[in-house]
Each structure stands twice: as structure tokens, then as C-alpha cells.
């Protein structure tokens, strides 16, 4: 059995002391390698994880932090939702958080989610909050296997907006959520030159239920003069194909003449 490096032994001893764990040495290192990593790892990769864990005060035993080995013998440190929540709440300048949700919704595998979510994160030492808006179609991962996005799209979307706001407000770097880590490790870092570029696929029809749910807010925006039928059609067409009937319904909405009241519904 290879002996652990001096650095790894020191880091594991510090972790055991910080978390008041009654084991140390090779047993602790072996256990950490089995529980805190997704795959086989070297001592240097284990050391890298313990450095990040120590920097943010995270606990590998409770899955607040773990890692994937990357393709270049490094690591991709992953912080779970509980870990992100803790480092945000423990930051000395944290002063509260709020969320705003779009009225417009999007369909995802039989469920409706918000088109965007804003995270408003306050710091005690700043006059203005950090406001980050994350769009569902940019953060949701579309894959052919089951993910938490399928059962809890709103919750996953909220987590994404919180994490991005925390990165900008507090400068958290070098750590990822699990969704980001899987994208990184799946990426082919040596693209092949002999492959024919894949042709873009035609978008599916825009879901009828999403159209019916969002049409009232589009109508309201057009009538208030804050948007136009053309811009709404262009925006919706990036998410799905509208039918001629749906396009006509949007185009038929007109802004009331100034001073003219809409008839009561």
C-alpha cells in the first residue's frame, strides 16, 4: 500500500481536528477517497479537495463538498445545495436574500416552470443589492435520462439563481454545483475534426398550455405599450414554433387609443 504524501496526511489531520473526528491517518484518507469522490483518485487529487474544503469550511462527510476527477488529473469540486446555503449564510457580510419570479412560464417534461428567476442578494457593506436573473432555457439541462430537473424544475431553477448571485456578490470561485460538474466532466476536451457538424434541429411546437398561460401577460404588455406583438413572437419563437392561429392571436392585440377605456370583460 502506498503511503500518503506529507501534505495529504497534514490536510486530513486538520480536517479530523476541525470536525472532531476520532480517526486519522490512512484510515481517514481511504474513507474520504471512497465517500468524497466519484471514481478512482490519487493522493494529489484528494489533497486538492481537502484544500478547497478547508478554504470554505465545508464537510466532505455530509456531502457538503465532494469531487469528480477531471480528464487532466485534476478535480472538479462539487458543493451540494446545503453547502452553498451554509457558506452564504456564514459569510460575515450576508444580509438577506429575496427572489422574483416571472409571470411567463415554460413547459418542461410535463411541468410548468418560470421563464426566469431573479435572486436579490444583500450585503451589509453595500448600498445596493446584487441582482442576478437566470433564464430557465439557459440553465436547464436537457438530457435523455432522469434528473432532478424533471421532478423539481422550479426548485432547481431557484438554486441556480442563488448560486450565480452568490458567486458575484461574494466572489466564490473554484466550486460548482453537481449539474455544472457533470457538464464539465462530460465535455470532450479533444474535439474530433473528422465529424460533420450536426445540423440544428427544428424546434418543437410551442406547448398549447404554455401559450394559454402566457397569453394574458403578453396581451397586457402590448396594451400597456411595454412590448410589441413582433417582439413577443420573436421571443417565443426561440423556444418553440407558433402556429399561424397563435401568431394571429398575438398580432390582433392592439394598444388602446389614448384616453379610450377597454370594455369591461
232 vs 264, residue with greater confidence: 232
- Three-state SS string over the chain comes to CCCCCHHHHHHHHHHHHHHCCCCCHHHHHHHHHHHCECCCCCHHHHHHHHHHHHHHCCCHHHCCEEEEECCCCCEEEEECHHHHHHHHHCCCCEEEEEEEECCCEEEECCEEEECEEEEEEEECCCCCCEEEEEEHHHHCCCCCCCCHHHHCHHHHHHHHHHHHHHHHHHCCCCCECHHHHHHHHHCCCCCCCCCCCCCCCCCCECCHHHHHHHHHHHHHHHHHCCCCHHHHHHHHHCCCECCHHHHHHHHCCCCCCCCCCCCCC
Instruction: Return the pLDDT at 192.
Output: 45
CB atoms closer than 10 angstroms to residue 25: 12
Report the DSSP beta bridge partners of residue 105. 114
Please give the share of the chain, as a percent, with pLDDT higher than 70.
80
Query: In the predicted model, is pLDDT for residue 119 greater than 90?
Result: yes
Q: How confident is the model at residue 116 (pLDDT cuts 50, 70, 90)?
A: very high
Q: How confident is the model at residue 258 (pLDDT cuts 50, 70, 90)?
A: low
In order of 212, 227, 257, the CA distances from 224 in angstroms are 19, 8, 11
Q: Which of 51-55, 72-76, 115-119 has the lowest mean pLDDT?
A: 72-76
Query: In the predicted model, is pLDDT for residue 1 greater than 70?
Result: no
Q: Which tens digits make up the pLDDT trace of 6-41?
A: 767 777 667 666 666 655 666 677 777 777 776 677
Per-residue buried b or exposed e for 120-154, using 16+ beta carbons within 10 Å of the residue's own CB: bbebeeeeebbebebbbeebbeeeeeebebbeebb
Q: How confident is the model at residue 98 (pLDDT cuts 50, 70, 90)?
A: very high
Q: What is the dihedral of CA 132, 172, 78, 113, to 10 degrees?
A: -10
Query: In the predicted model, is pLDDT for residue 193 greater than 60?
Result: no
Query: In the predicted model, is pLDDT for residue 163 greater than 90?
Result: yes
Q: Which tens digits make up the pLDDT trace of 132-162?
A: 999 999 999 777 778 888 999 999 999 999 9
Query: In the predicted model, is pLDDT for residue 48 greater than 80?
Result: yes
In order of 43, 70, 75, 145, 183, the CA distances from 49 in angstroms are 10, 12, 7, 28, 19
Query: In the predicted model, is pLDDT for residue 2 greater than 60?
Result: no
- The grid coordinates of residue 179 equal 449539474
Report the DSSP beta bridge partners of residue 72. none
- The grid coordinates of residue 72 equal 487532466
Amino acid at each position: 500500500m502506498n503511503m500518503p504524501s506529507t501534505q495529504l496526511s497534514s490536510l486530513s489531520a486538520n480536517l479530523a481536528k476541525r470536525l472532531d473526528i476520532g480517526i486519522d491517518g490512512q484510515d481517514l484518507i481511504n474513507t474520504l477517497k471512497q465517500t468524497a469522490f466519484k471514481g478512482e483518485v490519487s493522493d494529489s487529487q484528494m489533497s486538492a479537495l481537502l484544500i478547497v474544503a478547508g478554504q470554505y469550511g465545508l464537510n466532505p462527510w455530509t456531502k457538503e463538498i465532494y469531487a469528480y476527477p477531471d480528464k487532466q488529473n485534476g478535480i472538479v469540486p462539487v458543493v451540494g445545495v446545503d453547502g452553498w446555503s451554509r457558506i452564504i449564510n456564514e459569510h460575515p457580510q450576508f444580509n438577506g436574500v429575496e427572489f422574483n419570479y416571472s409571470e411567463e412560464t415554460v413547459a418542461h417534461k410535463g411541468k410548468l416552470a418560470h421563464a426566469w428567476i431573479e435572486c436579490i442578494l444583500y450585503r451589509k457593506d453595500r448600498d445596493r443589492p446584487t441582482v442576478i436573473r437566470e433564464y430557465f432555457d439557459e440553465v436547464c439541462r436537457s438530457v435523455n435520462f432522469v434528473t432532478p430537473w424533471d421532478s423539481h424544475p422550479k426548485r432547481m431553477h431557484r438554486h441556480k439563481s442563488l448560486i450565480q448571485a452568490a458567486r458575484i456578490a461574494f466572489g466564490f470561485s473554484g466550486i460548482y454545483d453537481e449539474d455544472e460538474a457533470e457538464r464539465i466532466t462530460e465535455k470532450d476536451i479533444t474535439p474530433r475534426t473528422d465529424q460533420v457538424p450536426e445540423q440544428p434541429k427544428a424546434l418543437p411546437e410551442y406547448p398549447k398550455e404554455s401559450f394559454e398561460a402566457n397569453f394574458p401577460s403578453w396581451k397586457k404588455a402590448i396594451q400597456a405599450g411595454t412590448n410589441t406583438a413582433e417582439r413577443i413572437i420573436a421571443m417565443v419563437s426561440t423556444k418553440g414554433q407558433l402556429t399561424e392561429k397563435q401568431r394571429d392571436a398575438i398580432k390582433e392585440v392592439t394598444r388602446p387609443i389614448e384616453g379610450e377605456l377597454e370594455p369591461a370583460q
